[in-house]
Amino acid sequence: MGLTARIRTRDGWAVSHAVVTVTDMTGAQVVRAEADEEGAVRDAVALVPGAYTVIVTAVGYAPVASSAIVTASGRAEIGTVTLARQGGTELPPPGPWTVDPAHSSVGAVAQHLGISSVHGRFTQFAGLIEIAPDEVAKSRVEAVIRADSIDTGNAMRDGHLKSPDFLDVERHPEITFVSTGLTPATGSDRWTVHGDLTLHGVVRPVDLDLAYLGTGADPWGGTRAAFRATTELRREDFAMNYNQVVQAGIAAIGTTLKVELDIQAVQGETLPQA
């Protein structure tokens, strides 16, 4: 007897914090039940036969209302209720997501001689994303990069970048980022990730412009989410002041760096095979 329902997102993920409210034809509440970790609602209270209104709500989702008829058995089997995220974009299900370095990239672009760009990337890094269950804005990101894994395609240049003139990898072997907050940006799939970046021994607040690209299954039985993030850093903010002026007003290396992140994250705290 009683009320049963399954609450899911459009992508089929359980909405574990959903609330189902049942009202009679006078508008009086007769049942209020919360979904469990599997998005299931089970309430044993038998209902008087008749017509009812069922309202399903969850933080971050548009509410859904529908009618239900309770038969002489006293049961209200609602079935599966699908909730759409406010703004229309489904986000990854809550819990930990591990960054997959084999299918991700951490890159930086610097201006060279005022006329072209030099592209580099870090080849060794790790990260963990924690999607909050009740409010996406409470989600967290932590990442660490091996500073000596810089690769610009030129051994001499890489050696200079690892020296005390720039990264000083002997004294500062790691670059870290720890998020401090998350706010929605323009568009339902775009966010600003606020955090503290530790680079060259200096800690500075940095904002990442984040785009969520979607979630899907992988060939190894896992689930992956994809993100792209960008930001711009000033070298002088991190005490990297080396430069060489080649002519009036033109420096050999630009004072700003454009950082470009393409991230795949696997659901859970361990990675499947690559």
The residue ranges of every structural domain in the chain are: 2-83, 95-267
Kindly list the strands in the beta sheet with 75-83, ordered across the sheet, starting from the edge strand earlier in the chain: 40-43, 2-9, 75-83
Write down the pLDDT at residue 71.
83
Contact present, 10 and 91 (Cβ < 8 Å): no
pLDDT of residue 89: 59
Q: Which of 13, 125, 21, 29 lies closest to 80, judged by CA?
A: 13
Given a contact cutoff of 8 angstroms between Cβ atoms, the answer to whether 264 and 229 are in contact is: no
pLDDT of residue 252: 52
Looking at the domain 95-267, which fold is it?
Lipocalin (2.40.128)
Q: What's this model's pTM, rounded to 2 decimal places? A: 0.67
What pLDDT, on the 0 to 100 scale, is given for residue 138?
87
Q: How far is CA 186 from each of CA 25, 232, 259, rounded to the nearest angstrom?
A: 41, 19, 20
User: What is the rounded distance in angstroms from the CA atom of residue 85 to the CA atom of residue 9?
Assistant: 8
Radius of gyration of the chain (CA): 25
The DSSP output letter for 36 is -
Separation of alpha carbons 212 and 185, rounded Å: 11
> If you classify domain 2-83 with CATH, what class do you get?
mainly beta
Q: What does each of the 274 residues of the chain score in pLDDT, given as a tens digit?
A: 578 899 988 767 788 889 999 999 888 998 899 998 888 998 877 888 999 999 999 877 889 998 888 888 888 888 899 887 765 556 788 899 999 999 999 999 987 544 457 889 999 999 999 998 777 788 999 999 999 999 999 999 899 899 998 899 999 999 999 999 998 876 667 889 999 999 999 999 999 999 888 888 888 888 899 999 999 999 889 988 776 544 444 445 667 889 999 999 999 987 655 4
Listed in sequence order, the DSSP H helices in the chain are 155-162
26: left (phi over 0), alpha (psi -120 to 50) or beta: alpha
End-to-end CA distance of the chain: 48
Would you state the pLDDT for residue 17?
A: 82
Query: What is the reported pLDDT for 59?
Result: 79
Do 20 and 31 touch, CB atoms closer than 8 A?
Answer: yes
Place of tokens 């009679």: 24
In the block, tokens 């009618």 appear at: 67
pLDDT of residue 253: 64
pLDDT at residue 144 in the model: 97
pLDDT at 20: 93
